[in-house]
Amino acid sequence: MKAVRKLRPHFSSAILFVGLFFLLLTSLPLHAVEPSELLSDTALEARARALSRELRCMVCQNESIDDSAAPLAHDLRVLVRERVKAGDSDAQILDFLVARYGEFVLLRPRLAWHTALLWGLPPAALLLGAVAIVIVIVRRQRITASEEMANLTPAEEGRLSDLLREER
Amino acid sequence: MIAELGHYALMLALGLALIQGSMPIIGARNNDPVLMSMATPVAVAQFAFVAMSFAALAVCYVTSDFSVLNVYENSNSAMPLLYRLTSVWGNHEGSMMLWVSILALFGALVAGFGNNLPPRLKANALAVQAWIAAAFELFILTTSNPFLRVADAPFEGRDLNPVLQDPGLAFHPPLLYLGYVGFSIAFSFAIAALIEGRIDAAWARWVRPWVLGAWMCLTLGIAGGSYWAYYELGWGGFWFWDPVENASLMPWLAGTALLHSAVVMEKRGALKVWTILLAILAFSLSLIGTFLVRSGVLTSVHAFATDPRRGIFILAILVAFIGGALALYAWRAPLLKQGGLFAPISREGALVLNNLFLTCACATVFVGTLYPLALEALTGEKISVGPPFFNLTFGPLFLPLFLTMPFGPLLGWKRGDLLGATQRLLAAAMLAAVAIAAGFALQHGGPVLAPFGVGLAVFVMAGALIDLAERTLFLRIPLGAALRRAVGLPRSAWGTAFAHFGMGVTLMGIIAVTAWGSERIAALRPGGSIDIAHYRLTFDGLFNRSGPNYRDLVAHFTVRRTNGDLIGTMEPSRRTFPTRNMATTEAALMTRGVSQLYLSLGDPNPDGSVPVRLYFKPQVLMIWLGALIMFIGGALSLSDRRLRVGAPRPARMRAALQAAE
């Protein structure tokens, strides 16, 4: 175990260059949540697990503290469970952690000015795309309608009305 | 000697790529058929030299030539042959070699099979392909040379990273690269069309098989990687929204959109300008993925800054190709004529909707992946964008996609009958309703949305089947006649149905495992047991086992049903690799139907107990099974006679093409 931890920085830089598109998770696949950490109250434990999934293990690459085996993740899990047991609300716990570790700890960034583009882009893209499609369709229908009108000569119009009459 | 030969062959390949990138284009400009026809043999020769170079590296690995630095750093003579071979691409330099080899392979394939292409288009496309090849060959030769020697050759290598010592390494990176790099063909054809300033429906016909092939490989590559991560990383997740995963998902999304818009372009001559843009974007996203993974920018902006040589080189490639392509697009695209009108409610309309959702989903993944990097680079603020963000934004974009998916194939071209399609999908909707009701009846305490998700998956799957039933007039005419119709159905229709069905299967697996999976965490002593779902696992004890280059500490478990029937045994282990002094968890998996029991082991405690994590993953195999069905769908569609490269076109189509030109 000790040797493994010592080697982790080397491991992380090595694997980065390996470029395997899925195995880029820095911590070694040890155990994340340990049996001794679990709270006996299942409702509180479920809340703690849900919160853990929203929190980043800050020394790992893109891992929640729920998935990570790093010692820091362990400490954070214990901390979250302590606050849950003490009766803090989810929001209070998150605020507490942000105050201590910065916004980096949240895997779901808060909506604010500096994240407006991040949160705004998906709905904006959808909206703009939809508007663009509607505009193109409307414009093209108008163009074709006027073209078709213009293209018929009087003789053709006569034939068309004859044909329509026959149809009846 | 062999390493030097490989190095030299790569340099020659670069020289050939430069010729291939210049002469045919000059020929195309001056109407010189000799210069244009140079592209074909040079592309084949370029591939031959790149392949020689790759083979040289492979020989160094297989024979454990530790005088080559790259081999010394990433291999070990005790490894089995398979891993000695796969470790060729289990590192930065080697994986770039694989990238370039596949790129050259595609170039040679276009050269070899593209006899029916207009000479000008072929010359231009192969030239563009050569620019990409030259850029990456130069990158390897100047910043990532795998053929460097060590002065005093060591006796033993430093071993391949243990996590990578897995059969997954044999399939996952090559498939992924076949997908990534396969989109380069669409890119080259798009640039060639823009250079010429002319494009027609035939363009889509030539490009679609390549896009389809790339898409198939990428689908399987992503799914394979997901399964690999699932069993290797020890906690049974199948998708992590890791930037590196996102890097492979973005080209997949763009490629899927491209696949659909190319159908519209081929069949109806519409969406030309948009399809060209998608072709550029799909490969650009592949390049961005390569940059993200290769430059080290992901760990942090600072890691990138400390050793920026490779990063900056790839960034330059990125800027040159993406910037150049988009500039050319902005300049030339207005020259391309629009064609093929259609009503909003039509198959074209449905495919436009598909493209809207797919590109928005792609943009979401893009902004989520790059925003933290950009924010840190610009303001120094550090934020994390993780799974909760993507689940919240990506999910709602895929929901309408799944809802509209069954409608598309049922609508006619040009002007569709929405009411008719809805009526025909009534059976699917009813099946979905039954599934939702059954979900609620059977579920105790799961998420409220889960049964609706299952209903959606059933709707998608049933919709694909209804499409087939409609086309074969199943149940409306005698069975024999329907079967004959089924055999006569275009393979691409089967392909669509398979691919859409597979998507439903994957969705079903994702929902079932997320909503109803269960987990037990416990510390067990020999003789102790844990229950999960309707199984009981008893821990019998630990024993040691040794492999070629590792030691295993194995835990033996007996699996029974809760009523006592013996089912089998599971043997998860902790694997230690002495060369690197690292350990991995080898999870044990037991497949029950499409569900799995997943058991992984922690380090034994001093008091003799062993921490274990046990999961029941209901229907988890459907996630990857669905991808496999999608792959088969792609293969069916690819085997369609009408798509086959060089297949004679029906006279009517030829006349239409000429008219379009």
How would DSSP label each residue in A121-141?
A: HHHHHHHHHHHHHHHHHHHHH
Are B367 and A121 in contact by the 8 Å Cβ rule? The answer is yes
Indicate the residue among B162, B179, B212 that finishes a domain.
Answer: B162
Q: B30 and B173: one domain?
A: no
Tell me which residue of A55, A64, A53, A52 sits closest to A27, measured CA to CA: A64
Q: B127 and B63: one domain?
A: yes
pLDDT one-digit tens code per residue, B596-652: 999 998 888 888 888 888 999 999 999 999 999 999 999 999 988 665 544 444 444
Assign residue B99 the CATH number of its domain: 1.20.120
Which segments in chain B show pLDDT lower than 50? Answer: 645-661
Q: B344 and B198: one domain?
A: yes
The answer to whether residue B509 sits within a structural domain is no
What total number of domains does chain B contain? 3
Residues 6+ positions from A45 with CB-CB distance below 8 Å: A38, A39, A81
- Nearest CB partner across the interface for B360, out of A31, A109, A129: A129
The strand order across the sheet containing B518-524 reads B518-524, B610-617, B595-601, B588-592
Query: What pLDDT does B652 receive?
Result: 45
Q: A10 and A35: one domain?
A: yes
pLDDT one-digit tens code per residue, A99-131: 998 888 999 999 988 899 999 999 999 999 999
Tell me which residue range forms the domain holding A28.
Answer: 2-110
Q: B30 and B117: one domain?
A: yes
Indicate the residue among A75, A93, A110 that finishes a domain.
Answer: A110
What angle separates helix B347-379 from helix B387-404, to the nearest 10 degrees? 170
Indicate the residue among B365, B380, B398 that finishes a domain.
Answer: B365
**How much is the CA Rg of chain B, to the nearest whole Å?**
27
Query: What pLDDT does A155 receive?
Result: 77
Contact A125 B363 (CB under 8 A): yes
Select the more confidently predicted residue: B550 or A152: B550
pLDDT one-digit tens code per residue, B443-453: 877 788 889 99
Q: B140 and B185: one domain?
A: no
What total number of domains does chain A contain? 2
Query: What pLDDT does B646 receive?
Result: 46
**Surface of A (79-118) touching B: CB under 8 A:** 102-109, 114-115, 117-118
Tell me which residue range forms the domain holding B540.
Answer: 518-617
Q: B111 and B145: one domain?
A: yes
Phi then psi for residue B528, to 5 deg, are -75, 160
Assign residue A72 the CATH number of its domain: 1.10.8.640
Positions of E strands within A14-104: none
Query: What pLDDT does B658 receive?
Result: 43
The DSSP result for B416-430, as a single string, is --HHHHHHHTHHHHH
* Residues of chain B contacting A50 with CB distance shorter than 8 Å: none
B78 by DSSP, 3-state: which? coil
The distance of Cα B362 from the centroid of its chain, to the nearest Å, equals: 14
Indicate the residue among B365, B387, B403 that finishes a domain.
Answer: B365
Q: B144 and B175: one domain?
A: no
* Residues of chain B contacting A67 with CB distance shorter than 8 Å: 235, 237, 240
Q: How confident is the model at residue A21 (pLDDT cuts 50, 70, 90)?
A: very low
Q: Does A59 touch chain B (CB under 8 A)?
A: no
0.90 exceeded by pTM: no
The answer to whether residue B453 sits within a structural domain is no
Other CB atoms within 10 Å distance of the CB of residue A69: 23
For residue B160, what are its two tokens?
Answer: 């391949």
- Nearest CB partner across the interface for A61, out of B299, B352, B397: B299
Query: What pLDDT does B367 receive?
Result: 94
The answer to whether residue B373 sits within a structural domain is no
The answer to whether residue B265 sits within a structural domain is yes
For residue B265, what are its two tokens?
Answer: 């372009």
Q: How buried is B529 (Cβ within 10 angstroms: 0-12 exposed, 13-18 middle, 19+ buried)?
A: middle
C-alpha distance from A35 to closest chain B C-alpha (Å): 5
Q: A87 and A162: one domain?
A: no
Indicate the residue among A95, A110, A125 that finishes a domain.
Answer: A110
Query: What pLDDT does B519 receive?
Result: 87
Fill in the DSSP letter of residue B561: E
Q: A63 and A14: one domain?
A: yes
C-alpha distance from B351 to closest chain A C-alpha (Å): 12
Residue corresponding to tokens 């609300």: A89
Query: What pLDDT does A29 receive?
Result: 40
